[in-house]
Structure 1
Amino acid sequence: MIRALVLVFCATTAVGAETQRDPEVLKHFVHQDCGSCHGMTLKGGLGPDIRVETLQHYDPDVLRGVILEGIPGTAMPPWRPLLSDPEVEWIVDYLLTGEE
């Protein structure tokens, strides 16, 4: 299931290049691709709630690591093959602050 989602994602989005993408593209990625497991409003689903108010206690480096490496033994995939460092930085900041 996760591999199918990743393949669909690769085929339909431009995220993953070496340069940072438009914030609207990254925001769409968070709400659609992350939201497919974390809920479309990010309040939780298969994955936990990832709204600003629930992530405030996370260290940005920890969150960055979870996004890049995934969580073994869970449905959280590693996004390292698809996201550049600037994209991950933008996503971490967006998840922790809610600001674009």
Structure 2
Amino acid sequence: MAKEKQLAAEVKELTKATPAVSQAFGALVKSVNDSGVLDHKTKELIALGIAIAVRCEGCLLFHVRALIKLGASRDEITGAIDVAVEMGGGPARVYGAHALGIYDAMMAA
């Protein structure tokens, strides 16, 4: 996906421009994913729901890709979308539809 490649390039550039913050953020992400009672896939489903609710397209790309790598099913994705719509209303429904489209496109590729 062109948007995914563009996002990766932009994040790489930001990482070069802000190495200390990028390293700290990476450590935070690792700590969250490596600890606690929730498994990594559950945490990614929560992150996807939040990304939908706050309408972060780049986050959708990142978290959908991560969920595919973790073996998330389409039903699990739509379950996270349902919760996001409950919390975010109509705008979350639109971004949820976009998230599902991203999932379908990535699975078809």
Give the structure-1-normalised TM-score: 0.39
Give the structure-2-normalised TM-score: 0.37
Bigger relative contact order (CA 8 A; separation at least 6): 1
Give the greater-gyration-radius structure (CA).
2
